[in-house]
């Protein structure tokens, strides 16, 4: 389990006494069953047996390049590049389809050159990263298998504080571990782990290695993907975080359909309401999202929002803060219409917001085709650039047009296939390459198992280099 912006360590679970009585309690409009001590133990045992087969261990290998080191044998105090080394990590995943699709955290497989999946019955498979989304810390891994056990999806929006949950994963390398606790809080944001945060907080013991594992209800329904724990002292403080299943499922479906997560966009910058700002804006309470800037021709401007407006409800749901509004808008369908309640100069107004798609982040020109393909695209790990006259002179190239390989990751599929820095790509899959934009248009749609047939000029010699995963 990786460590985002703060120290991540161990959390403590909940001890359940025998004084629990049978019955139900109401959480909003939902009745939650409460079992007796004996019934509760039987239910936990049944749920653990049901869910554990669908939770896997994921091992990842990344190439690490340490900082350069000095060598007294080199003149003028020059330094050598430290040799790359392999670093191994371990996390968990949840099987969500019988044909081998596995949901996990992006940070479990990020930059991995090799992914190994071990099932609960100890079968091992080579995993392929289908797609990932760092902004929600969600990733999808595929293995070649059928008739696999799966979990049942739950509705995370119905979770109530105090509800019993089980965390299933592989903490500290201890496979098939199950822990028990409660939902401590919902809707946790500003944790500093991902861009889009709406975490379930739990005290069910979660440890390094649990990342990507399942958080399930007492009935075995998947309501979260365990992601991180918080411990400023390194000790056990009982604070764990899981991505809600609704958010994870939506991200996964978008990744599988388009290779990326399609999100709604407000088209405006907002900030949280503080006690002082609430007083200045004469707000009835300290919640809502203050509009600080409106994007030209964006959804907010078309809805009539202006700087200084305070959005307090979205489709009738109270907006708690800026992050909450961002999540609400991001989760809806592009082009759908939604009712906004906002305050302007303390007076209530309503507007219809037609949600547009969030603008895509432009990849840097020198980057090899990416998306979730950073670890699975045939050309992953390769850096390309347009061939210009100055660059041709600098690199002593034999041609002055096309796309040149300026860097290549050691151990990458392209390197092992024979591609080298300085190679000028003339064709990709028998199509002429005149510029980087043409190259990127042809390379981006390529599937992980696709063939990249490059025709390259290497110092005047022209040769084909086929690159394809095994």
CATH number at residue 124: 2.40.10.120
Indicate which CATH number applies to the domain containing 408: 2.30.42.10
Q: Does the reported pTM lie above 0.75?
A: no
125-141 pLDDT, tens per residue?
999 999 888 888 999 99
pLDDT band at 295 (very low <50, low <70, confident <90, very high): confident
Percent of the chain at pLDDT above 90?
35
Q: Same domain for 190 and 325?
A: no
| pLDDT on residue 86 | 82
Domain boundary pick from 258, 292, 321: 258
DSSP structural state of residue 19: T
Q: Is 302 part of any domain?
A: yes
Q: Is 367 part of any domain?
A: no
Comparing 128 with 82, which gets the higher pLDDT? 128
| pLDDT on residue 6 | 35
Q: In DSSP terms, which residues pair with 342 in a beta bridge?
A: 311, 349
Q: Same domain for 319 and 397?
A: no
Q: Is 364 part of any domain?
A: no
Q: Is 275 part of any domain?
A: yes
Q: Same domain for 110 and 153?
A: yes
Which of 171-180, 257-266, 443-452 is predicted with the least confidence, judged by mean pLDDT? 443-452
Domain boundary pick from 221, 242, 258: 258
> Residues 6 or more apart from 42 whose CB is under 8 A from it?
none
Residue 205 has pLDDT above 90, yes or no: no
Q: Same domain for 196 and 275?
A: no
Exposure letters 230-256 (e unless 16+ CB within 10 A, then b): bbeeeeebbbbbbbbbbbbbbbbebbe
Q: Same domain for 154 and 179?
A: yes
Q: Same domain for 338 and 268?
A: yes
Comparing 66 with 263, which gets the higher pLDDT? 263
| pLDDT on residue 258 | 79
Q: Is 328 part of any domain?
A: yes
> Could you give the residue numbers annotated as active site?
107, 137, 211
Q: Is 163 part of any domain?
A: yes
Q: Same domain for 234 and 305?
A: no
Coil, strand or helix at 291: strand
Residue 232 has pLDDT above 90, yes or no: no
Indicate the average pLDDT of the chain.
81
Domain count, the chain: 3
User: Residue 245 has which token pair?
Assistant: 């299943």
Quote the radius of gyration of the chain (alpha carbons, Å): 26
Q: Same domain for 382 and 323?
A: no
Q: Same domain for 336 and 419?
A: no
| pLDDT on residue 52 | 94
Residue 367 has pLDDT above 70, yes or no: no
Q: Which domain holds residue 193?
A: 1-258
| pLDDT on residue 163 | 94
For residues 352 and 34, give the distance between their C-alpha atoms in angstroms, rounded to a whole number.
42
Residue 10 has pLDDT above 60, yes or no: no
Contact 415, 381 (CB under 8 A): yes
**DSSP-derived pairing of the beta strands 264-265 and 356-357:** antiparallel
Exposure letters 11-45 (e unless 16+ CB within 10 A, then b): bbbbeeeeeeeeeeeeeeeeebeebeeeebeebbe
Strand ranges in 48-163 using DSSP code E only, listed in sequence order = 55-64, 69-70, 79-80, 85-95, 101-104, 112-118, 124-126, 128-133, 138-142, 152-153
Comparing 174 with 72, which gets the higher pLDDT? 174
Residue 216 has pLDDT above 50, yes or no: yes
Residue 214 has pLDDT above 90, yes or no: yes
Domain boundary pick from 258, 281, 312: 258
Q: Same domain for 192 and 104?
A: yes
Using alpha carbons, list the distances in angstroms from residue 338 to 263, 266, 310, 321, 357: 15, 11, 16, 18, 14
12-22 pLDDT, tens per residue?
222 223 333 45
| pLDDT on residue 380 | 82
Q: Same domain for 63 and 45?
A: yes
| pLDDT on residue 146 | 93
DSSP structural state of residue 459: T
Q: Is 188 part of any domain?
A: yes
Task: Please state the rounded mean pLDDT for residues 358-375.
Answer: 45
Q: Is 192 part of any domain?
A: yes
Which of 53-62, 161-170, 305-314, 380-389 is predicted with the least confidence, judged by mean pLDDT? 380-389
267-279 pLDDT, tens per residue?
988 888 888 888 8
Residue (of 231, 223, 232) closest to 200 by Cα position: 223
| pLDDT on residue 470 | 58
Comparing 388 with 249, which gets the higher pLDDT? 249
Comparing 335 with 446, which gets the higher pLDDT? 335
Task: Please state the rounded mean pLDDT for residues 413-431.
Answer: 87
Q: Same domain for 139 and 231?
A: yes
Residue 371 has pLDDT above 70, yes or no: no
Coil, strand or helix at 283: coil
């Amino acid at each position: 389990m990786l460590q985002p912006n703060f120290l991540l360590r161990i959390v403590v679970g909940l001890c359940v006494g025998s004084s629990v009585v049978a019955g139900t309690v109401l959480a909003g409009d939902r009745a939650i069953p409460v079992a007796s001590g004996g019934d509760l133990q039987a239910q936990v045992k049944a749920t653990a047996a049901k869910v554990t087969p669908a939770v896997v261990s994921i091992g990842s290998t990344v190439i690490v390049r340490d900082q350069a080191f000095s060598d007294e044998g080199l003149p003028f105090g020059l330094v050598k590049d430290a040799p790359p080394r392999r670093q191994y990590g371990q996390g968990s995943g949840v099987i969500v389809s019988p044909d081998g699709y596995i949901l996990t955290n992006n940070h479990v497989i990020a930059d991995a050159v090799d992914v190994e999946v071990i099932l609960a019955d100890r079968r091992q498979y080579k995993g392929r990263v289908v797609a990932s989304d760092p902004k929600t810390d969600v990733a999808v891994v595929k293995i070649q298998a059928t008739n696999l056990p799966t979990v049942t999806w739950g509705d995370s929006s119905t979770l109530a504080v105090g509800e019993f949950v089980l965390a299933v994963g592989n903490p500290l390398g201890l496979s098939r571990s199950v822990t028990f606790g409660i939902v401590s809080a919902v809707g946790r944001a500003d944790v500093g782990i991902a861009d889009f945060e709406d975490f379930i907080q739990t005290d069910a013991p979660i440890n390094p290695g649990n990342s990507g594992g399942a958080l399930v209800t007492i009935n075995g329904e998947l309501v979260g993907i365990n992601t991180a724990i918080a411990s400023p002292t390194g000790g056990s403080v009982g604070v764990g975080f899981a991505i809600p299943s609704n958010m994870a499922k939506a991200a996964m479906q978008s990744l599988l359909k388009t290779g990326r997560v399609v999100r709604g966009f407000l088209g405006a910058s907002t900030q949280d309401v503080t006690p002082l700002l609430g007083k200045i804006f004469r707000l009835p309470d300290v919640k809502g999202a203050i509009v600080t800037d409106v994007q030209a021709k964006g959804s907010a401007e078309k809805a009539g929002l202006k700087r200084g407006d305070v959005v307090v409800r979205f489709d009738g749901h109270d907006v708690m803060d800026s992050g909450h509004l961002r999540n609400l808008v991001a989760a809806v369908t592009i082009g759908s219409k939604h009712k906004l309640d906002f305050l302007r100069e303390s007076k209530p107004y309503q507007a219809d917001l037609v949600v547009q798609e969030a603008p895509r982040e432009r990849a840097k020109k020198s980057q090899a085709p990416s998306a979730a393909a950073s670890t699975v695209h045939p050309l992953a790990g390769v850096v390309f650039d347009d061939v210009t006259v100055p660059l041709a002179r600098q690199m002593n190239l034999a041609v002055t047009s096309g796309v040149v390989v300026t860097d290549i990751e050691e151990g990458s599929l392209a390197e092992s296939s024979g591609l080298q820095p300085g190679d000028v790509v003339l064709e990709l899959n028998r199509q002429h390459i005149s510029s980087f934009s043409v190259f990127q248009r042809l390379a981006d749609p390529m599937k992980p198992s696709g063939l990249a047939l490059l025709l390259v000029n290497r110092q005047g010699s022209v040769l084909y280099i086929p690159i394809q995963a095994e």
